[in-house]
Structure 1
Amino acid sequence: MGADMALRSLYLPTGCTINHTAATDTIRRLCREATIADLRVLIDHGWIDDEAPYSEETWTDEALTARAAPLRQATETELLQLFDGFVRSLGQRDVIRYRFDNGDEGIDAYETGGLSSGDDPTDAYGAWDIVFDTDKLPDSWPDQIGAAAGLLHPWGDGPAVTTVTFRAWA
């Protein structure tokens, strides 16, 4: 029997809020410019809830190209809703907020997580997928969305967010 301790941390400049406009503009741009390869990643990982059944045979490059416009629109709608859920989650009770500062400057840290045996440990943990799931969204999409939202990396470089998972087996 095993258990995971999964934690996620987000960082914003002290006193700042999520830049909703910039992030939603970035989501719209990414979705409208989504390539066939991007659409395939989105379908493979369940981000697009399309009415057509998915299989390798039905979703050839030609089939994706023919349905690209509605798939891009469905992705945009889904990701915008997920982003709104992410923003709302920052104020939920399963998120801890604290400040690292040096007087007037610093960062506000938001953390969520806990023990997990397969499911997300908190609702917020799942809501943060839009800026964390670098392996389930097309390359660089979570980083671009997070950076547009104003999220910081604590060292000032690299991805906008970090994930830490501790595992223990009994």
Structure 2
Amino acid sequence: MAYQVLNSIFVRHDADQGAAEAHGIAVGMLCIDIRAKAVNWMGELFQKDVSLTEEEKNILESIFEQTRRLLDGDDEQFAFDLLLPGDDEALPERVEALRCWCQGFLFGIGYAKATSVWPGECGEIMRDIVEFTKMDSDAGGEEDENDFVEIHEYLRSAVLLIRDQMATDSDEQTRH
């Protein structure tokens, strides 16, 4: 439901990205800085001349804040998920959304951290995510469906690992 609601806002305002990519941007920004501001995220999503309604701003801010809580909460960390079309949508659409989510995530990471030095396993994960942006959305069949589910689960875990390692790295830099 949240996917369609968010996507309709982007379609209505002729934005350059959809819900999946926008969520990826938010997650990337929040993995680097859990205190990132929703207003900065929205500024990246829409041109300066776009006038969002109060309801649209509230929806966007709500999704951003919910993402922050899910990334920041220890007891809820397995509740975090990528914002993608539901299983009732065709596999090619879900694969394309996953590819766009990865592009957004990389953009969000780059927006918040201008370095290529990554702590722990983050460098390898980032290379994997770059590869996922090259996925062919022309998918079908049970094997492709299984691959999609596997990549989706990998990304859920990878995001939490990146978030934890970035927070640890940030804490260590603060102490030195």
TM-score normalised by L of structure 2: 0.31
Q: Which structure's residues are more often strand, by fraction?
A: 1
More helix by share: 2
Which protein, 1 or 2, shows the higher relative CO under an 8 Å CA cutoff with sep ≥ 6? 1
Work out which of the two has the higher radius of gyration on C-alpha atoms and give 1 or 2: 1
- TM-score normalized with structure 1 length: 0.31
